[in-house]
A and B are shown apart, each in its own frame.
Chain A
Amino acid sequence: MVFNSQLPLLRVRNLCKQYGPSCSACARLTGPEQGSNICPECGSVVACFDVSFELLPGEVLGIVGESGSGKSTIIRCLNLDESPTAGEAFLSEVEGGKVNLFALSSQRKRLIQSSLLGVVYQSPHLGLNLNFSAGANVAERLLIQNNTPEYRPIRKRTSLLLNKVQVPVKRMDEPIKIFSGGMQQRIQLAKALAPRPTLLLLDEPTSGLDVSVQARVLDLIASLQRETGVSMLVVSHDLGVIRLLTHRTLVMKMGRVVEQGLTDQILEDPQHPYTQELVASVL
């Protein structure tokens, strides 16, 4: 069986992120049982605490939970945009998964971010430079990766990527801000996929879109995943998105993982009271 030989692509251990001074009581006085993620002693916000998981190559892991449960914080930490308060993350492609990504120099982090990771944020302005053209946004990622950039191959690959995400190539020189929300999300996806990342981080990729556009973007993500076999971490509060895209799911509340399991098990046989409430709330 191939299973045994598969090493995790990503290992996250005890990830914690706190905003504020933080004190020794933060962990004890926050969480789902306490009903808050704000420490009453020091006022720190415990965005996520003691989050651990593994992701195998080709696997899609969902993170579901209410607003403020710490989902996006995990994405920002793993995209190396933010430094966590504590915890470790290992990527198998970085020194065989033996070094903690968070402890690397900012230069190495930037290199990893531009070559191994891809991210799609809920809001296009976080992932795209709105003053650049669609093509320039995608090409920027290719330029960072390329030591001796040449115009033609980069433009060709940019066209290919835009074509793949169903954005008309003839519009590649138009500024991002005149594209529709759905197209902006697809351009973000093209940008994220440009360096052929091993890990794609999707933070509520379809939340602001109307249902028909949402369906097109989700179908595109699902087909690209099948085609390329890229591992994905999908953050969403929408259980439909989680059902469609993911194999396994973490359920978060007040910065803690309250349950994790196979996606169909989470949806059909939820164990934790919060997960049961979440599943029962689906329209």
Chain B
Amino acid sequence: MKEETKRLHNNCLLSVENLEKTFCLHLLKRIKVEAVQSLSFQLRQGEFGVIVGPNGAGKSTVLKCIYRTYLPTGGAIKYRCADNTIVDLATCSEQMVLEIRKTEIAHVTQFFRCAPRVPTEEVVAYPRMAQGISQKEAVEEARELLKRFAIPEKLWRTYPATFSGGEQQKINLARAIIQKPRLLLLDEPTASLDARAVERFLAVLESIRKKGTTCLGIFHDLEMIYPFTTQLIDVQGAKR
């Protein structure tokens, strides 16, 4: 990944610098909505960052800018890849983003969305297959994860669209974790999970963190996630 090389402190994995995101709504008399203003923070490898702020403060926008689902309007998002090259996710090419999404960064979105009419085990296995793993092996790994998330075996060949909100969220988590990402973005991943499922999720999270995955997330229940947290990022503070 030699697209661009920028400076980044040695053990820093992600450096968000003066991030700006303003939406221009052309259909509504070009109203401008300033979602994120000059936000800066850094995450070291293995850290657990939690973004805090009230509803509408721009928490999800920050995650979406890092994943490039939203196009940042200003600032830089420097990310250190596994091969030590540094990429600015705010400006790098789309093909570069696709490659990084495949191998480096996973995003658990707030609302689950997947290709329709694809069996659950394949939905979970697909990100692994995209990394070049055989379908048989990927499905095996997917089944292991589905077991860990306590999804009943009889549902593995059915479509996630028929699942409950909580079950869909588990699939959402499983397909991000199967990638073995270096950076995991989590947008309210536990919002629709019951207490037992939250416990299971935290156990899975702990195990992948031990393997070196860095996490950045938004959590409704800060008390629950507090023991894991290494850094609180206040988006509202940046706006003031």
Q: Which residues of A contact B (CB under 8 A)?
A: 1-4, 56, 59, 215, 219, 222, 226, 244, 247-248, 260-262, 264-265, 268-269, 271-273, 276-277, 280
**A271 (CB) vs chain B CBs: closest residue:** B71
A1 & B69 in contact (Cβ 8 Å cutoff): no
A4 CB contact (under 8 Å) in B1, B26, B27, B103: B1
Known A-B contacts A1-B1, A4-B2, A276-B26; the reply to A248 vs B115 at CB < 8 A is: no
| Complex Cα spacing A244 to B81, Å | 28
Interface string of B186-217 (1 = CB under 8 A from A): 00000000000000000000000000000000
Residues of chain A within 8 A (CB-CB) of B2 are 4
Q: Tell me whether B98 is interfacial, beta carbon within 8 Å.
A: yes
In the assembled complex, 16 residue pairs joining A and B whose CB atoms fall closer than 8 Å, in A order, are A1-B1, A1-B82, A1-B83, A1-B85, A3-B95, A3-B99, A4-B1, A4-B2, A215-B117, A247-B98, A262-B97, A265-B71, A268-B70, A273-B26, A276-B26, A280-B27
Pick from B26, B64, B96 the residue with the most CB of A within 10 Å.
B26
How many residue pairs, one in A and one in B, have C-beta atoms under 8 Å apart?
Answer: 62
A243 to chain B, nearest CB (A): 9
Chain B residues within 8 Å of chain A by Cβ, number:
29
B1 & A244 in contact (Cβ 8 Å cutoff): no
A273 CB contact (under 8 Å) in B27, B71, B98, B126: B27
A265 CB contact (under 8 Å) in B1, B26, B69, B85: B69
**B82 (CB) vs chain A CBs: closest residue:** A1
| Complex Cα spacing A128 to B103, Å | 41
B69 & A268 in contact (Cβ 8 Å cutoff): yes
Known A-B contacts A247-B98, A269-B23, A273-B27; the reply to A3 vs B70 at CB < 8 A is: no
